[in-house]
Structure 1
């Protein structure tokens, strides 16, 4: 059997993942976003159906442990809509949790991550971690060490929230240099928020996947610098490292609330990519690359 992607309804051949939103949220809750929770299954289902109507076939939800990820609801939505959904384990930055949630040693955290990835009727398919602003604090290092253990036990990819897009090389130095996670099993998120092409090229040269997410998000260089970044990577031979996602984190950002939402990726961004960089580039970004980035190797 070849590589598989672990969805909330079970493993599927990676080749069947299809057109993928590589970083988004159907459910999300945090004290940092009071009153903006994503907790409505009907609204989440509407977003998935709107995405599917435009040709979308898969969504990777990066919501980790303790932030309202609702795995059973994800499975119900995947079954009802026919969209493949990949769930996450892991932990976000410490500010998203009560103190008692964080008081676990590295081995215990790794055990919890592995359990999420391997046990139960609804299993996670990746480990989500988070860096800090232009560096890594003690919590980030602690969680990334546990995530590396979980990766080595399961083969799961490690997806990284980069705070405002910064700290990519610090993350790779730790995960890949010290903790021996292969760069091709690391997905760096939010790079669009820090549009330093030198950093993007270095991370791609290391072999990591680069996720550009949150199109049309205000106050970030998401749209007007996006094509500069994608073109530079493609011209340097790194088109095979690029992923795109919506990163919808509030109810107001959903398409049903007149935000860009998941459909924007296929309604506006994909046609623009085809016009600017060609059909094969868009096919790689939306289909081929996610299938590789989130796959589990199998003999």
Structure 2
């Protein structure tokens, strides 16, 4: 029987509904805390609750919280937000990217990581299979011992590079995926290295239809997108609202290019909203409201002008595709 794993328990895929497929809700990344980068610390659960309520009022039903262990999860606060709002939240096991791993490991994780001082030291000293066991436990038993189980597994790589430790976590997450059948997600720094990740995943015998590749709209290259899509993987356009990286017209152009090539069933859309300044209720930003409230109407208008069935595409990007992407394939 297929299911999607949320903080509220396992649900039928048909219950997922309108979904943001890559977000952050409450997190205190140790690296950014140590660097004094307050904008990158989402530490006000009440403000985050209001953002989720904005999403719900627009018809939103589920959010994938892509916060891995090295990005400072606040599992209990996120679970409380899920409980209070009724929104399904999918948690994430696994790892992010290498440059974050110089940060100190919080004391509450020492029972899992041992006496290693930093994430990098822990990952370096631990075998691939033992790291896989950690990820498996977070899927099957609960994130950081809370009992709230992860609904996807994640790894990440750097900008135009994959370090030895990043390759190690990729392989560990792939092996955890084989054991748990959890869907997989990757962080691609600035949208790079997805093709190189794919080669390593093939070495681990991963069925790439179980993968979603993040931040594809940080690298607005249709040829590159096509190569990723040809593997059967999902492409996450999760930088909506971030005009500093690209205008929405370019994101929409690349999305429709994939539709033209027959890949409309592999597209996910979200915001990766991970700064105070991006959130309405933290710092007067666009917040969770913007995608459903502003971007979707704009996308529909532009798609219709160019002869596309806009309603069908929006349903695929926010309902049908997430439903398949985040299902455990037993």
Instruction: Give the shorter-chain TM-score range.
Output: over 0.9
Q: Distance in 2 between matches of 1:101 and 1:162?
A: 19
Q: In the TM superposition, what whole-angstrom CA distance separates every residue of 1:119-174 from its partner, at most 9, and x where no partner exists?
A: 04200111121112223221210000000010000011111111101111111111
| Secondary structure in 2 matching 1:161 | strand
Query: Residue 57 of structure 1 is aligned with which of 51, 58, 61?
Result: 61
1:211 is paired with a residue whose SS is strand
Paired residues of 2:216 and 2:236 also in contact (CA < 8 A): yes
Q: Does 1:147 align with 2:173?
A: yes
TM-score by length of 1: 0.95
SS of corresponding position for 2:150: coil
Task: Say whether 1:35 aligns with 2:38.
Answer: yes
Which stretch has the larger CA shift, 254-263 or 159-168?
254-263
Which stretches in structure 1 are left out of the alignment for 5+ residues? none
Q: Name which of structure 1's ranges 261-270 and 284-293 shifts more when overlaid on structure 2.
A: 261-270
| Residues 193 and 222 in structure 1, CA contact (< 8 A), matched pair in contact too | no
Task: Tell me which residue corresponds to 1:209.
Answer: 234
- Is the 1:165–1:189 contact (alpha carbons within 8 Å) kept by the matching residues of 2? yes
Residue of structure 1 in register with 2:110 after alignment: none
Partner in structure 2 of residue 219 of structure 1: 244
Q: Aligned pair 1:246/2:278, yes or no?
A: no
For residue 15 of structure 2, what is the aligned residue in structure 1? 16
Runs of 4+ deviating beyond 3 Å: none
Query: For residues 42 and 280 of structure 1, what CA distance do their matches in structure 2 show?
Result: 35
CA distance in 2, matches of 1:95, 1:218: 25
- Tell me the residue number matched to 2:319: 287
Corresponding position: 1:181 with 2:206? yes
The answer for the alignment partner of 2:289 in structure 1 is 263
1:136 correspondence with 2:136: no
Secondary structure of the residue that 1:128 maps to in structure 2? strand
Asked if structure 1 preserves the Cα contact closer than 8 Å seen for 2:98 and 2:157, the reply is no
Gaps in structure 2 of 5+ consecutive residues: 104-116
Maintained 8 Å contact 1:126/1:156: yes
Distance 2:247 2:20 in 1: 16
Cα-to-partner distance string for 1:9-47 (whole Å, 9 max, x where unaligned): 100011110000000000222324621211211111111
**RMSD (Å), alpha carbons:** 1.4
Shift of 1:274: 2.4
Whether 2:192 is the aligned partner of 1:192: answer no
Task: Indicate which of 78, 83, 86 corresponds to 2:87.
Answer: 83
Q: Which moved more, 1:50-59 or 1:129-138?
A: 129-138
Q: Answer 1 or 2: which has greater helix percent.
A: 2
User: Which runs of structure 2 are paired with 1:40-119 in the superposition (5 Å)?
Assistant: 40-97=44-101, 98=103, 100-102=118-120, 103=122, 104-119=126-141
Kept in 2, the 8 Å contact 1:129–1:147? The answer is yes
Q: How many residues align?
A: 296
| Bigger Rg, which one | 2
Q: What is the CA-CA distance between 1:218 and the residue it aligns to?
A: 4.1
The Cα of 1:229 is off from its aligned counterpart by: 0.5
The whole-number CA distance in structure 2 between the counterparts of 1:115 and 1:5 is 17
1:273 touches 1:281 (CA, 8 Å); kept in 2?
no
Partner secondary structure for residue 93 of structure 2: strand
